[in-house]
C-alpha cells in the first residue's frame, strides 16, 4: 500500500511539473506533428498508410520525450534526494512509468484526431479497437522508455544513445502496433500480432522495474 | 557519555570501520573509523576536497563504500541500505526541491515519499518560517529560503540520524537558530547529528565529537571537549 502511494506521489509530481513546464509535451508534440505532415506528404495520405505514419511518429516522439523522464531530476539537482527516500526504487519506476504513460497517451489521442482530420481515417468508428492497440503500444514504450531514461542518465551524448537503444528495443511494439492498426483500419486479420504485443508488454513490465533498481543502485 | 567515541558498536548511532570510497583511482575517503553514540553531535571538518561530503553521502547510502563498512543504529550501510534510509535524513548543499512546484507541494511530496502522507505540512511550513511563501514556486525563492525548505524536508521525517552538509550557507539569524533547534530536537529524541562544515565555530559549542579529515584520511577523531579553539582551527585546516 505504501509503495502504491509512493508511486502515485512520483507520478503526480512528474505530471504536475510537466503541466507547468510543458517541455516534454511541447517537444514530442512538435516532432510527432512534423513527422506526420512530412510522411503524409512523402508517402501519400491514403488511410492504409496512416497506421505506419502514426506509430513511426509516436516512436520518434518517444525518443525525444523519454530522456526527460529522469533528466528533470538531474537538472533540478533532486535526483539524490529522490533516491534517498526509503522504500524500493521499483516504486520510483512505477511512478515515472505511469507519468510517461499518461503523457504518451495524451500525445497518441491528439495524433489519432489529427490522423482522422488529415488522412480521412474514420477514427471514431474504430475508436474502441484503436484505444486498445494504443494502450498496448504506450505501455510497451513507457515500460522500456523509463528503464532507458535511467540507463542513459549520466551518459554523455545521451540524445544520440537514446534512439540507438530505444528504436531497436521498441521495434516489436512499433511493428505490432502498425500491423494491428492497419488491420483495424482496413478490416483485415491481425494474425498473431496481439499475442506478440501482449507478450512483449508483459515481459517489459516484469523485467524493466527490476533492472531499473539495479541501474539506480548508485548514481 | 556524550563525549566518548569509544562506545561499543551495539550502542552506536553511527559506526564506521575503515570506511573508504574511491572514484576511479582517486580515494575520496579512506580508513575512516569512529563510533558515534546516540544523542551526540559529530562535527566533521577539513579543507576543501578532504572528503567531508563523500563521508556524509556514504553514511546516507547515496554511495557504496569501496572499502570497509559501517552501520547506522545497527543497520549495515550496504546490506540494510533501505533500513538506514528509513532512519536517516541527508541535507546536501542543494535543496533537492522542484523549481516548478510550490513550497507546499514540495514538502507534501517529501512527506508522501517518507511514508507520511498525512504529515501536517502547514505546521512544518510554520516551523521553518515558510508560511508566507508556501504557495510560491521554489524557483522564485532565495537560496536561504530554499535551504529552509531542504531542512524542513529532512526534519519532517523525524530522522534518528541527521546528516547536514554545510547547513549554514545562505541562512539568516533565524535560519541558523533553526539548524540549532533541529539538531537539539534530533538529539533529544535519541538521535544523532553529523554536521560537515567549514563554519565550525557556529557548532563547536553544540558538538560532542570531532572528525577532522585531510585528503580523505582522518587526522583527528575525538571528543570536542578535549580540544582548544586553536586545535579545532588546525584540525579544520587539516594540519593536525
Interface test with A, best of B60, B96, B121 (most A CBs within 10 A): B96
Contacts of B137 in chain A (CB under 8 A): 20
pLDDT-wise least confident of A32-41, A97-106, B32-41: A32-41
Higher model confidence: residue B221 or residue A132? A132
Kindly tell me if the per-residue pLDDT of B57 is higher than 70: yes
Q: Band of the pLDDT at B147, cuts 50, 70, 90? A: very high
CB contact under 8 A, B85 and A85: yes
The CA distance from A102 to A66, in Å, is 12
pLDDT of residue B9: 52
Note whether A1 contacts B: Cβ–Cβ < 8 A: no
How close does chain A come to B62, measured CA to CA in Å? 6
The residue of chain A with its CA nearest to that of B63 is: A218
Q: Band of the pLDDT at A142, cuts 50, 70, 90? A: very high
CB contact under 8 A, A5 and B92: no
The per-residue pLDDT for range A162-182, each reduced to its tens digit, is 889 998 999 999 999 999 998
E strands present in chain B: 14-23, 26-36, 41-45, 67-72, 75-76, 88-91, 161-165, 192-196, 209-214, 217-223
The CA distance from B70 to B72, in Å, is 7
Partner residue opposite B85 with nearest CB, options A5, A13, A84: A84
Kindly tell me if the per-residue pLDDT of B159 is higher than 90: yes
Partner residue opposite B97 with nearest CB, options A21, A78, A87: A78
Q: Band of the pLDDT at B7, cuts 50, 70, 90? A: very low
How close does chain A come to B239, measured CA to CA in Å? 32
ipTM of this complex: 0.89
Question: What is the maximum span of chain B, computed from C-alpha positions, in angstroms?
Answer: 49
Name the residue among B164, B155, B48 with its Cα closest to residue B107.
Answer: B155
CB contact under 8 A, B85 and A86: yes
Contacts of B57 in chain A (CB under 8 A): 80
Name the residue among A119, A111, A73 with its Cα closest to residue A92.
Answer: A73
pTM to 2 decimals?
0.89
Beta bridge partners of B182: none
Exposed, middle or buried, B87 (CB in 10 Å: 0-12/13-18/19+)?
Answer: buried
- B155-159: long-range pairs with CB below 8 Å, 24+: B155/B89, B155/B124, B155/B127, B155/B128, B155/B182, B155/B185, B156/B107, B156/B110, B156/B111, B156/B114, B156/B116, B156/B119, B156/B121, B156/B124, B157/B89, B157/B110, B157/B114, B157/B116, B158/B189, B159/B87, B159/B88, B159/B89, B159/B186, B159/B191
CB contact under 8 A, B114 and A82: no
CB contact under 8 A, B101 and A81: no
Cell of A112: 489519432
Residues 143-182 of B with CB under 8 A from A: 153
In this structure, what are the phi and psi dihedrals at residue A209, rounded to the nearest 5 degrees? -60, -35
CB contact under 8 A, A80 and B92: yes
How close does chain B come to A161, measured CA to CA in Å? 24
The per-residue pLDDT for range A77-93, each reduced to its tens digit, is 899 999 999 999 999 99
Q: Band of the pLDDT at B6, cuts 50, 70, 90? A: very low
Cell of A155: 551518459
Kindly state the percentage of chain B with pLDDT values over 90: 76
pLDDT, averaged across chain B: 90
* Average pLDDT of the segment spanning B117-146: 94
In this structure, what are the phi and psi dihedrals at residue A85, rounded to the nearest 5 degrees? -70, 145
Kindly tell me if the per-residue pLDDT of B4 is higher than 80: no
pLDDT of residue B1: 30
Name the residue among B87, B116, B3 with its Cα closest to residue B124.
Answer: B116
Contacts of B112 in chain A (CB under 8 A): 5-6, 8-9
Interface test with A, best of B109, B110, B111, B163 (most A CBs within 10 A): B109
pLDDT of residue A160: 83
pLDDT-wise least confident of B38-42, B178-182, B235-239: B235-239
Note whether A85 contacts B: Cβ–Cβ < 8 A: yes
How close does chain A come to B82, measured CA to CA in Å? 6
Kindly tell me if the per-residue pLDDT of A15 is higher than 90: yes
pLDDT of residue A1: 65
Residues 122-141 of B with CB under 8 A from A: 137
Name residues whose C-beta falls within 8 Å of residue B6's C-beta, 6 or more positions apart in sequence. Answer: B35
How close does chain A come to B35, measured CA to CA in Å? 23
* Average pLDDT of the segment spanning A39-49: 80
Higher model confidence: residue B235 or residue A143? A143
The per-residue pLDDT for range B171-195, each reduced to its tens digit, is 999 999 999 999 999 999 999 999 9
Kindly tell me if the per-residue pLDDT of A103 is higher than 90: yes
Amino acid at each position: 500500500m505504501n509503495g502504491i502511494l509512493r508511486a502515485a506521489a512520483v507520478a503526480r509530481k512528474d505530471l504536475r511539473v510537466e503541466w507547468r513546464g510543458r517541455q516534454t509535451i511541447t517537444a514530442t508534440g512538435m516532432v510527432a506533428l512534423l513527422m506526420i505532415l512530412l510522411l503524409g506528404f512523402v508517402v501519400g495520405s491514403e488511410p492504409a498508410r496512416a497506421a505506419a505514419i502514426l506509430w513511426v511518429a509516436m516512436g520518434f516522439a518517444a525518443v525525444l520525450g523519454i530522456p526527460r523522464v529522469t533528466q528533470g531530476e538531474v537538472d533540478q539537482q533532486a535526483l539524490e534526494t529522490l533516491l534517498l527516500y526509503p522504500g524500493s526504487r521499483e516504486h520510483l519506476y512505477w511512478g515515472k512509468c505511469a507519468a510517461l504513460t499518461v503523457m504518451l497517451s495524451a500525445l497518441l489521442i491528439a495524433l489519432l484526431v489529427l490522423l482522422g482530420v488529415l488522412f480521412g481515417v474514420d477514427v471514431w468508428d474504430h475508436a474502441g479497437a484503436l484505444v486498445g492497440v494504443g494502450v498496448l503500444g504506450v505501455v510497451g514504450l513507457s515500460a522500456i522508455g523509463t528503464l532507458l531514461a535511467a540507463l542513459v542518465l549520466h551518459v554523455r551524448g545521451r540524445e544520440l544513445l537514446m534512439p540507438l537503444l530505444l528504436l531497436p528495443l521498441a521495434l516489436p511494439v512499433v511493428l505490432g502496433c502498425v500491423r494491428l492498426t492497419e488491420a483495424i483500419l482496413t478490416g483485415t486479420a491481425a494474425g498473431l500480432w496481439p499475442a506478440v504485443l501482449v507478450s512483449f508488454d508483459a515481459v517489459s513490465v516484469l523485467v524493466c522495474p527490476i533492472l531499473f533498481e539495479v541501474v539506480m543502485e548508485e548514481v | 557519555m556524550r563525549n566518548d567515541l569509544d562506545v561499543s558498536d551495539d550502542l552506536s548511532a553511527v559506526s564506521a570501520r575503515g570506511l573508504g570510497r574511491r572514484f576511479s583511482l582517486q580515494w575520496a575517503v579512506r580508513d575512516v573509523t569512529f563510533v558515534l553514540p546516540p544523542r551526540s553531535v559529530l562535527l566533521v571538518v577539513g579543507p576543501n576536497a578532504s572528503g567531508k561530503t563523500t563521508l556524509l553521502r556514504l553514511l546516507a547510502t547515496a554511495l557504496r563504500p569501496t572499502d570497509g563498512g559501517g552501520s547506522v543504529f545497527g543497520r549495515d550501510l550496504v546490506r540494510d541500505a533501505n533500513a538506514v534510509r528509513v532512519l536517516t535524513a541527508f541535507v546536501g548543499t542543494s535543496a533537492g526541491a522542484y523549481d516548478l512546484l510550490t513550497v507546499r507541494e514540495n514538502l507534501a511530496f517529501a512527506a508522501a515519499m517518507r511514508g507520511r502522507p498525512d504529515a501536517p505540512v502547514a505546521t512544518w511550513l510554520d516551523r521553518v518560517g515558510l508560511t508566507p511563501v508556501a504557495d510560491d514556486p521554489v524557483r522564485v525563492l532565495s537560496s536561504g529560503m530554499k535551504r529552509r525548505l531542504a531542512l524542513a524536508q529532512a526534519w519532517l521525517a523525524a530522522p534518528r540520524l541527521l546528516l547536514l552538509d554545510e547547513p549554514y550557507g545562505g541562512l539568516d539569524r533565524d535560519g541558523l537558530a533553526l539548524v540549532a533547534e533541529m539538531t537539539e530536537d534530533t538529539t533529544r529524541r535519541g538521535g544523532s547529528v553529523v554536521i560537515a562544515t567549514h563554519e565550525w565555530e557556529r557548532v563547536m559549542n553544540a558538538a560532542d565529537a570531532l572528525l577532522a579529515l585531510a585528503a580523505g584520511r582522518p587526522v583527528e577523531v575525538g571528543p570536542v571537549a578535549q580540544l582548544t579553539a586553536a586545535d579545532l582551527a588546525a584540525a579544520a585546516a587539516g594540519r593536525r
